[in-house]
Chains A and B, each alone.
Chain A
Amino acid sequence: MTGEQQLKYTAEHEWVDADGDTATVGITAYAAARLGDIVYVELPGVGDEVTAGSVVGELESTKSVGELYAPVTGVVTEVNEEVASSPEVVNSDPFGAGWLLRVRVTETPELLDHAAYQQLTGEA
């Protein structure tokens, strides 16, 4: 796993770990904590085309619903099946075992670096 400092971020609280043309995507610890205990995760299907900035999934806690935005444009190559059966993993390990999907990237918009994301969440 890449350190949080090396990851890229969106203003909608996704993190992106780019490795060649593959990007692993999850939500940040900040977003997971704000949602509360996550009880349901809906992810796109493998093979789905996703466009940066569009809603591709949902995360629900008992109290609220959070939308998952695609941080990059490309094709979904893998989704984390474990979070479907054990959504609490997103709370306990959002940057690791709680990853959500992998995308073969065709286009990456400008993303935030760690310092910029921390500034956004007021944690700098």
Chain B
Amino acid sequence: MTDRENREPEPRRSPLHEVHTSEGATFTDFAGWTMPLKYRSELAEHAAVRTAAGLFDLSHMGEIVVLGPEAGAALDAALLGELSAMEVGRAKYTLMLNAEGGVVDDLVVYRTGPDRYLVVANAANRETVAAELRSRALGFAAEVQDESDDIGLLALQGPLSLDVLSEVGGFSADQDERTEQRFVELLTGLKNYRFLAAWYRGHPVLVARTGYTGEIGYELFVAPALLPQLWRAIREAGAGSGVVPVGLAARDTLRLEAGMPLYGNELTAATRPQQAGLGRLVLADKAAAYVGREAVEGFDGSGERILVGLASEGRRAGRHGYPVRAGEEVVGEVTSGALSPTLGHPIAMAYVHPDAVARELAIDVRGTALPARVVPLPFYKRPDRKA
């Protein structure tokens, strides 16, 4: 009997797969993709992003375009926040909720034109987000197109990322390739959560000051066919500055130190934004009705577990799924944890009962109690950022 229908589909490969192989990558399967886990040492990659810069292939991420005269209104009805009020050239971190107020996905939305938005979704949620956006846009003069297969994504993150990106030849401010210097000026002036619609060797590129590492950094949206050329150009420009390619292992410890949630760990369909410390995204005075509004505005958080940061001594870390105890009583659960490469001690994010936050807590590390104290998130702030 052949069971073709039951077989797991072959994981997809990035357009950069051969480049990664030549860079020495070890691969892992992630959300239906085979992506680099690390190249040589994940600790060295993590440190490079904190002290120089690191280059990431994010081909697995979903890119969904919403366009039309009512694209903004459709997104207002579909997501938290007022996307219709956002200026062109700006980006916003937001959430898609289900009717119960739980999180379907966390997203970054870029307004790329008066009638056009780019929604970046997690790889595992790409189809769900596209389908939900389509159904939530019904009745609006807006169209939803899943362009994930036609948009490639690289990230360059770290304190030297601006210097390195400025050195990469081939970028121009507009289609005229002589505007290379103008591009560098615009890039230098680009503020956090803003982006440029620019050109790379005659092809459109979107250069955004967004990221998932807690450092200054850029995300570059280009046609997938351009990825190998752009990757090599950034590697060459960064060779003298300590820029290295970075895999998913370091991406995870970087975002954990920066206190950024990971869908599937800190955010799930059962998590309400307020529990995750994202209550600021729920705008009480928002004009539009949106999916999940009643549930999330009526949410009574008393007695519901909340996301906290935990810090411990030593080198042994709590990990996803480990119980958090106050004495013998289980009062929470770790969602992400690791020995922080930058701080040198174990850190964890955990959902803990609000009444227990002030108590003496310990993570149950396979039967051993690891004392843990509640600390503010993020665990790590880049040195130039004011407290």
Contact = CB atoms under 8 A, between A and B. Distances in A.
B339 interface: yes
A115 B317 CA distance: 36
Contacts of A60: 315-317, 339
Contacts of A44: none
B249 A63 contact: yes
Contact of B38 (A36, A39, A40, A88): A36
A42 B365 CA distance: 13
A12 interface: no
B42 A37 contact: yes
A6 B43 CA distance: 32
B333 interface: no
B319 A62 contact: no
A46 interface: no
A40 B41 contact: no
Interface residues of B, number: 18
A36 B42 contact: yes
B115 to A, nearest CB: 43
A11 interface: no
Contact of B253 (A40, A42, A62, A87): A62
A65 interface: yes
Nearest to B368: A42
B89 interface: no
A62 B42 contact: yes
Contacts of B366: 65
A65 B339 contact: no
Interface string B317-336: 10100000000000000000
B339 A62 contact: yes
A91 B315 CA distance: 17
Nearest to B338: A62
B316 A63 contact: no
Interface string A13-53: 00000000000000000000100110110100000000000
Interface string A82-124: 0000011001000000000000000000000000000000000
Identify whether the interface residues of B are mostly helix, strand, loop, or mixed: mixed
User: Chain A, interface size: which category?
Assistant: 10 to 19
Interface string B43-86: 10010000000000000000000000000000000000000000
Chain B CB within 10 Å, residue with most, of A36, A40, A42, A87: A36
Given A62-B43, A63-B42, A40 B339 contact: yes
B337 to A, nearest CB: 10
A40 B316 contact: yes
Interface string B28-40: 0000000001100
B362 to A, nearest CB: 17
Contact of A37 (B41, B315, B316): B41
B315 A62 contact: no
A46 B317 CA distance: 25
A42 to B, nearest CB: 7
A36 B341 CA distance: 13
Nearest to A33: B26
Nearest to A40: B315
Contacts of B180: none
Contacts of A63: 42, 249, 252, 338
Contacts of A87: 315
A33 B37 CA distance: 12
A88 B44 CA distance: 12
A37 B341 CA distance: 11
Interface of A: 33, 36-37, 39-40, 42, 60-63, 65, 87-88, 91
Interface of B: 26, 37-38, 41-43, 46, 249, 252-253, 315-317, 319, 338-339, 341, 366
Given A40-B316, A60-B316, A62-B42, 10 more contacts: A36-B42, A37-B42, A39-B315, A40-B339, A62-B249, A62-B252, A62-B341, A63-B249, A63-B338, A87-B315
8 closest Cβ pairs, A-B complex? A40-B315, A37-B43, A62-B338, A39-B339, A63-B249, A62-B253, A37-B41, A40-B316
30 contacts: A33-B26, A36-B37, A36-B42, A36-B249, A37-B41, A37-B42, A39-B43, A39-B339, A40-B315, A40-B316, A40-B317, A40-B339, A42-B316, A60-B315, A60-B316, A60-B317, A60-B339, A61-B42, A62-B42, A62-B46, A62-B252, A62-B339, A62-B341, A63-B42, A63-B249, A63-B252, A63-B338, A65-B319, A65-B366, A88-B43
